[in-house]
Amino acid sequence: MTAAGWRRLEAHLADFIWQHPDWPRFRWSADRLLPAVADARFLHGRLIGTMAAAGLATRQQAELTAATDDAVATSAIEGEALPPASVRSSIARRLGLPDDGLTPRDSRVEGVAGMVLDATRNCRQPLTVERLFSWHRALFAVMRPSLEAPIDVGRWRTDARGRMQVVSATYRGGKTPRVHFEAPPADRVAAGMKRFIAWFNGDAEDLDALLRAAIAHLWFVTIHPFDDGNGRIGRAIMDMAIARAEPPGGQRFYSLSSAILRQRRGYYAALEQAQRGDLDITPWLLWFLQCHQTAVRDAERTARRVIEVARFWPSVEPVNARQRKALAKLLDEWEGLMTTRKWAAINAVSADTAQRDIADLVSRGVLVPNRKGGRSTGYVLAGPLGPASPVSQEASPSEAKRGG
């Protein structure tokens, strides 16, 4: 049999992509990816434009929120719950923002927060073995009680306790566990990571940063070089690849890990499909681009609302203390209509006083009543912050073409 014939046979018999003779020479369909890449770039540019209209304090808070969400979400994807207040405090301190507060330091939090910020803020520093080891040591400075066995910290896995597999406890109620993925043998990790790091640090000007990030994440978690923590470190590498394509010192206003967390089943399914398929990873890249768009859209909605809230208060002055308190409730993700009874309860005043406060705001166009009359009438905020008039958003190029 010819060499080409043997390669075709080996590829046919392979269970996982790392067993293919051409691994890791990934393939994809540029034609299928181009519209999704264009949409992602359009949405990201629009988010940057939106944030440019915000003040410095708003941008700093948006960056702090995104980094906090990222650290909390990347841990939650792996089933570990971190206290958001502690994460926010740690990241604020590292960013030099006055949000540190009095929250006690948590070693688990410090490790994740440090890795998340190092990956993005120091993205142009080379990815090295020692840097990866330092991230791993930071993640496992304190061993989780839930770990079944001690892990090797700050070094490649050895498979001393058996093959590295991703296994579900049972499959469809049966007693036989299902092997979702099996990583390459430990004796291939060092060489595999050397090749990966060289690619990651190399020049790839012809490859879009988002595609580079998606490939880096898939490649890294397929090698699965550590006993534990591969997902979190893989997502940090993903964020690092994206940050390298952004302006130096640029701020990140969205959390990709948060979007992945909300689509966790799809995330694992897309990874498993890619790792069990051939080296054509087009479906994985499309899933990743869609997830990135979701993250940016969420951030844009949040950013526009923050900007509108900042504009809201000067536009409604003067307001008394009761009006300010009730309006703040409406701005804080209030569900349903504001009524005279609710207004009175919020401020501990009579219904007559509440009605006078409301009538003043209705006359000035701040509140809009529903069609019912009397004190049973409900009210909502007028303008872009009201539920009937959400902050408008333009369609992306491909959405406009589809009429969406």
Other Cβ atoms less than 10 A from the Cβ of 402: the count is 10
**Using CA atoms, how far apart are residues 302 and 211, in angstroms rounded to an integer?**
26
Q: Supply the DSSP string of 292-326, one letter for each residue.
A: HHHHHHHHHHHHHHHHHHHHHHHHH-S--HHHHHH
192 has binding-site annotation = no
Look at the alpha carbons of 156, 81, 122, 248 in this order and tell me if their dihedral is positive or negative: positive
On whether 254 is known to bind a ligand per the annotation, the reply is no
Residue 178, strand partner residues = 168
Tell whether 233 is in a known binding site: yes
Which one, of 288, 259, 258, 260, lies nearest residue 273 by Cα? 288
- The DSSP line for 323-336 is HHHHHHHHHTT--S
Q: How far from 118 is each of 94, 125, 233, CA to CA, in Å?
A: 10, 9, 11
Which of 106, 117, 34 shows the shortest CA–CA distance to 70?
117
267 is in an annotated binding site: yes
Q: Does 268 show up as a binding residue in the annotation?
A: yes
| Sign of the Cα pseudo-torsion (171, 183, 129, 281, in order) | negative
At residue 143, what are phi and psi to the nearest 5 degrees? -75, 135
| Residue bearing tokens 């890791």 | 24
Supply 397's token pair. Answer: 């190029």
Helix then strand then coil, in percent of the chain rounded to 5, is: 60, 5, 35
191-210 burial, b at 16+ Cβ within 10 Å, e below that, comes to ebbeebbeebeeeeeeebbb
The amino acid at 196: F
What single DSSP character describes residue 388? T
Residues identified as active-site: 224
Question: Are the CB atoms for 187 and 21 separated by under 8 Å?
Answer: no
Phi/psi of residue 250, nearest 5 degrees: -65, 155
Binding-site annotation: residue ranges for ATP: 228-235, 267-268
Binding residues: 228-235, 267-268
